[in-house]
Amino acid sequence: MFEKPLRVGVTTVSAVAVVAALVALALGSGQAEPSVAAKAPKVDGHGFPRTLSFWKCGNDPAIAKRDMSVGYAACPDPAVLRRLNPKGIFLLTPGLFPKNLNEYGGMHVTYGQGLWYWRHGIAWKNGGCDTAPGPVNLGCIREFDLDWDYLWNANGTLAGINNGTDGHRGWNLVDPTGKGTRELVAKFFAYTAKVDGLYTKPWDGVFSDNWTYSALGQGWAYGPNIDANRDGKVDNQATLRRGWNDGLNEVGNRIRSYLPGKTVAGNGSWFPMWLGYNGTDRLGWLKASNATMVDDLQDWYNNGAGGPPKLLQIASRWLAFKDPSGLPRYVLFREKALTNSGALLNIPSNGNPNNPKYLLNPGVMRSMRWGLTLALMGGAYYEIVVQRWDSTLWWYDEYDGGKGIRRRGYLGQALGPPVRLGAGRVWRRNFQKGIALNNSTSKAVRINLKRPFRHLRGPQNPHLNNGRIVTSVTLKGHDGLILLNVKR
């Protein structure tokens, strides 16, 4: 361990690989991917659908049912999960605290928790040297420097997420004066993961929240008044973002070198496909991590950020990129449940989110079918939650095939990329054991299947999942459907 204990967080993802064959979708940009020296990637063996559990504790069997689970050192126990699901992918978010890590959150590549934690000496402040188990010794880490390692505003106040209102202080990854903040953050992150059991427990990789390129300077991303070089003036936005993008790339690449063979995942590391990117290495954002997460999938429900076509383009490019370390590529989709009106489902603070009246709400199930089938189009791991996401343990017949199947990955592997049906936002994708349909328009569509398929069977929605054989279906607006092959 370090001479002065340090607590911060990282999540590693398993060396179980990702889809080798997700080539660019028909709706992609059409540009050829530049050649990159890379090892032949491993292949993700998980069948579809691929399910996700995010930052949950307690019910280990319910969590272990998911193909991928992101957690903390304190909870859940990856050894228990591994026994229940030997092929699962378990990612660690390293925490800042010796105890109750799940309660206080972790360290992330763009921010550390507020100064209160530093002042009370709970997190590491004075430096130390690495004696934690792992294939790479990080050597010694210098002392945290408040004046340079955090982002400051030109008026002399600390910058933070949501203009500093939530206490999350941003690391100065721009580091224009070369103070070594990028190295500090990467080592801090990797060390905390090692201390949290990355190599002594069966974690497959690490996960960081807020891995957001090019957003620096927006109101929610540390605000528009950043003074990274501490000269009392607001920095030029283009220069600031270039330094931030380069810094985030360096941190990611360092973490990958410090944690060889482990997946490194980031929430939002796909942002360059939305907000633009001016990093020195134009492919740096693809190299610095091998797993990415699209949070708040419901924001893409209509036309947000370019709508589902843009989202599928993002997923396609991410998965098709040849990882420099030869590791699999992963995409994670997490959706907040919507009602039939398209509004977020809100549950009273004293309500149980796992009450069947919420789980089986018709609007919520429709929202789930839309999000799940969109994840199937994009090759993503999927979860639907309510605002209390850490307590939502919903499981649907669509996840395991329902009555008569009850098996993870029951659709098998994809037989090709998704195909757009007509000129609208309706897609079909063929799998070894069936098909998925997604209607991301607001209107119902009639779809000719060209051959017979069978509905799933299940008690949650017997009107739809009734086992009936069909050759055509009518799909409501913002809905999805999974159908099974009919044996010939």
pLDDT in tens, 184-243: 999 989 988 998 899 999 999 999 999 999 888 888 888 999 999 999 999 999 999 999
332: in domain: yes
Query: Are 430 and 416 within 8 A, CB to CB?
Result: yes
Query: Does pLDDT of 128 surpass 80?
Result: no
Query: Are 121 and 48 within 8 A, CB to CB?
Result: no
Q: Residue 114: which pLDDT band, with cuts at 50, 70 and 90?
A: very low
What is the predicted pLDDT for the residue at 167? 63
Q: What are phi and psi of 207, to 5 degrees?
A: -135, 135
Q: Quick one: which H or E segment has residue 54?
A: strand 50-54
What is the predicted pLDDT for the residue at 112? 72
| 398-406 mean pLDDT | 97
145: in domain: yes
Tell me the CATH number at 321.
3.20.20
Query: Does pLDDT of 103 surpass 90?
Result: no
What is the predicted pLDDT for the residue at 438? 97
CA pair distance 74, 95, nearest whole angstrom: 9
What is the predicted pLDDT for the residue at 96? 61
Q: Residue 253: which pLDDT band, with cuts at 50, 70 and 90?
A: very high
Query: Does pLDDT of 182 surpass 70?
Result: yes
Map residue 163 onto helix, strand or coil.
helix
287: in domain: yes
Percent of the chain past pLDDT 90, that is, above it, reads 66
Instruction: Take residue 78 and report the two structure tokens written for it.
Output: 């990856």
Q: Residue 116: which pLDDT band, with cuts at 50, 70 and 90?
A: very low
Q: Residue 422: which pLDDT band, with cuts at 50, 70 and 90?
A: confident
Q: What is the pLDDT of residues 8-64, one digit of tens each?
A: 333 333 333 333 333 333 333 333 333 334 456 677 889 999 999 998 887 678 899
Residues 6+ apart with CB under 8 A from 383: 51, 52, 53, 54, 66, 332, 333, 334, 335
122: in domain: yes
CA pair distance 231, 276, nearest whole angstrom: 27
**Number of Cβ within a 10 Å radius of residue 406:** 12
Map residue 175 onto helix, strand or coil.
coil
Q: What is the pLDDT of residues 159-170, one digit of tens each?
A: 888 766 666 788
Higher pLDDT, 432 or 78: 432
Measuring CA to CA, which residue among 83, 71, 79 is closest to residue 265?
71
Query: Are 19 and 304 within 8 A, CB to CB?
Result: no
**Pairing of the two strands 111-112 and 381-385:** unpaired
Query: Does pLDDT of 323 surpass 60?
Result: yes
Q: Residue 97: which pLDDT band, with cuts at 50, 70 and 90?
A: low
94: in domain: yes
Measuring CA to CA, which residue among 12, 186, 173 is closest to residue 93?
12
DSSP string, 234-251: PPPHHHHHHHHHHHHHHH
Percent of the chain past pLDDT 70, that is, above it, reads 84
Q: Which domain holds residue 139?
A: 12-336
Q: Quick one: which H or E segment has residue 128?
A: strand 128-129
Higher pLDDT, 60 or 180: 180
What is the predicted pLDDT for the residue at 267? 96
Map residue 340 onto helix, strand or coil.
coil
Q: What is the pLDDT of residues 56-74, one digit of tens each?
A: 887 678 899 999 999 988 8
| 418-431 mean pLDDT | 93
The average confidence (pLDDT) of the chain is 85
Q: Residue 445: which pLDDT band, with cuts at 50, 70 and 90?
A: very high
482: in domain: no
Question: Counting runs of H as helices and runs of E as strands, what totals does the chain give?
Answer: 14, 19
Half-sphere exposure of 69 (CA within 13 A, CB side): 32
What is the predicted pLDDT for the residue at 330? 97
Q: What is the pLDDT of residues 255-311, one digit of tens each?
A: 999 999 999 999 999 999 888 899 999 999 999 999 999 999 999 987 666 789 999
Query: Does pLDDT of 313 surpass 50?
Result: yes
**Number of Cβ within a 10 Å radius of residue 146:** 14
| 80-89 mean pLDDT | 93
Rounded-to-10 torsion of CA 255, 256, 261, 267: 80
Instruction: Take residue 220 and report the two structure tokens written for it.
Output: 């929610």
Number of domains the chain contains: 1
- Residue 110 one-letter amino acid: T
- Whether residue 309 is preceded by a cis peptide bond, meaning omega within 30 degrees of 0, is no
40: in domain: yes
Map residue 277 onto helix, strand or coil.
coil
CA pair distance 44, 32, nearest whole angstrom: 23
Q: Residue 6: which pLDDT band, with cuts at 50, 70 and 90?
A: very low
What is the predicted pLDDT for the residue at 4? 35
4: in domain: no
CA pair distance 371, 394, nearest whole angstrom: 14
